[in-house]
Structure 1
Amino acid sequence: MIRIAICDDEAPTRAYLASLIRAQDCPCEVVEYASAGDCLADHRGIDLLFLDIELNTTGPDGMALARQIREGNSAAQPVIIFVTGYERYVFDAFDVGAFQYLLKPVDEEKFAQVFARAVEQIEAGRVQPQLSHALTLQSAGTSRTVPLDSIYYIESSNHKVVLRLKDGEFS
């Protein structure tokens, strides 16, 4: 099940996005937040975040919330899709690793396409999460992918590198 959050200060927009999500063929749990503070206060893991940039509430705006999420120590970072009425922030979205930028009013067909791609990315990350923190090494015609947390240390001597691993060594 995919955990989806909608953070927008406008209740009708939250309701509309929730209806678009539920119209997709995807088992999910949807939670809504009216402010960035509400979203930050809820410590449930989020897989996908639909986020408005200009939140007319006290506290951080959507871009500040995205920065806080990206700077967090959580290994599981949500896919962020900005949903806003302002084109001027599109380039700022790249700074926080946004997956997509949708303009209000949201086109249902475009939403379905973006949603499907986001779900694919989330599911791919669940299948092979260790590969995002791994090294692929080649030596003497062989290749091996090594998770970083399986490396004890790396030794170098006379132009030869040896990795000391939990399950042996690789040179």
Structure 2
Amino acid sequence: MLKVLVIDDEPLARKGMLFRLGSFPELNVVAECGNGKEALEAIQQHQPDLIFLDVEMPGMDGFAVLEQLKQLNFTLPYVIFVTAYDHYALAAFDVNAIDYVLKPVEAERLAAAVNKAMQAIGSKDDQKHKSQLAEVVSRLTGDAPETILERLDKSEPVVDSRFPEAISIKDSGEITRVPVIEIDWVDAAGDYMCIHTKDGQTHILRKTMKELEQELDPRLFVRVHRSAIVNVHTIVKLQMLPNGEHQLVLSNQQTIKVSRSYKDRVKQVFNH
């Protein structure tokens, strides 16, 4: 039997995962953790073969947990990411990851991930492990698995700089996938981002402006203010106001202030 750890900051998500893992007699769940700190302690104590790791956790996210283990020179267990954000799987080659499953977890998808874990751990075949991960990244990027493996052998970056086609937003037990091309503009509201889409809806995302900006293709989105990002295709006009400030007019007639520090960046949009 494999020793397994379940790590997720959402109690209901942990409960659901524990219930699903109960149908795998080859897995022995030795502990469950609700945050990164607990995870570090439990991994060092139980030395699990496999962990189911949520990426998005407050304080210390899943990648930070693995980085801390590396700094402690602790042998990493095999990892199956459990996340609402499929683009995180692109980082699979940076850790000892087997696969990823998206929330809400589907039984068939979980079974496939567990099967991969059993095969990889049983064979200890590094090349097979790389091949499995190449298939995961191939599904996300469209690159051939052979191309990805060739980059690995040459110590080249596994994936090109790519950006997600959709943003996944969790709200009241639901996950909404908002296509990036449907986003008109984004503004900050405290610790949350308000994502305004072409159909007039506003979606609330708990993420910093800096984090969201890194996920959006800079060819399609421009930062116009410390608290605003705009889809360049929605920009109609750049206006100078009587007080010397600038503002954008979008195709939906929304006006957005442009701060001085971002003015030159906005003007570049009109030069293309």
TM over 0.5, shorter chain: yes
Q: Which amino acid aligns with 2:95?
A: V
Give the corresponding residue for 2:47: 45
Q: How far is 1:112 from its partner?
A: 0.8
| Counterpart check, 1:2 vs 2:26 | no
Give the corresponding residue for 1:81: 80
Q: Which amino acid aligns with 1:33?
A: C
CA shift digits 1:60-103 (9 cap, x unpaired): 1111112223444234x311010001123221232223211111
| Partners of 2:80 and 2:101 within 8 A in 1 | yes
Count of residues in correspondence between the two structures: 123
| Partners of 2:3 and 2:27 within 8 A in 1 | no
Instruction: For 1:114 and 1:66, locate their aligned partners in 2 and report how far apart those are by CA, in whole Å.
Output: 19
Give the corresponding residue for 1:15: 15
| Counterpart check, 1:69 vs 2:66 | no
Instruction: For 2:71 and 2:79, locate their aligned partners in 1 and report how far apart those are by CA, in whole Å.
Output: 14
Give the corresponding residue for 1:31: 31
Instruction: For 1:16 and 1:99, locate their aligned partners in 2 and report how far apart those are by CA, in whole Å.
Output: 21
Q: How far is 1:53 from its partner?
A: 0.6
Q: Which amino acid aligns with 2:105?
A: V
Instruction: For 1:3 and 1:68, locate their aligned partners in 2 and report how far apart those are by CA, in whole Å.
Output: 21
Task: Give the structure, 1 or 2, with the largest relative contact order (CA under 8 Å, sep 6 or more).
Answer: 1
Percent of aligned pairs with the same residue? 33
Q: Which amino acid aligns with 1:124?
A: S
TM-score, normalised with respect to structure 2: 0.42
Give the corresponding residue for 1:102: 101
| Partners of 1:70 and 1:96 within 8 A in 2 | no
Instruction: For 2:19 and 2:4, locate their aligned partners in 1 and report how far apart those are by CA, in whole Å.
Output: 12
| Partners of 2:21 and 2:27 within 8 A in 1 | no
Instruction: For 2:52 and 2:87, locate their aligned partners in 1 and report how far apart those are by CA, in whole Å.
Output: 18
Gaps of at least 5 residues in structure 1 are 129-171
In our comparison, the structure showing a higher alpha carbon Rg is 2
SS in 1 for 2:21: helix
Q: Which amino acid aligns with 1:63?
A: F
Q: Which amino acid aligns with 2:16?
A: Y
SS in 1 for 2:74: coil
Q: How far is 1:27 from its partner?
A: 4.6
CA RMSD of aligned residues (A): 1.9
Q: Which amino acid aligns with 1:49?
A: I
Instruction: For 2:67 and 2:55, locate their aligned partners in 1 and report how far apart those are by CA, in whole Å.
Output: 12
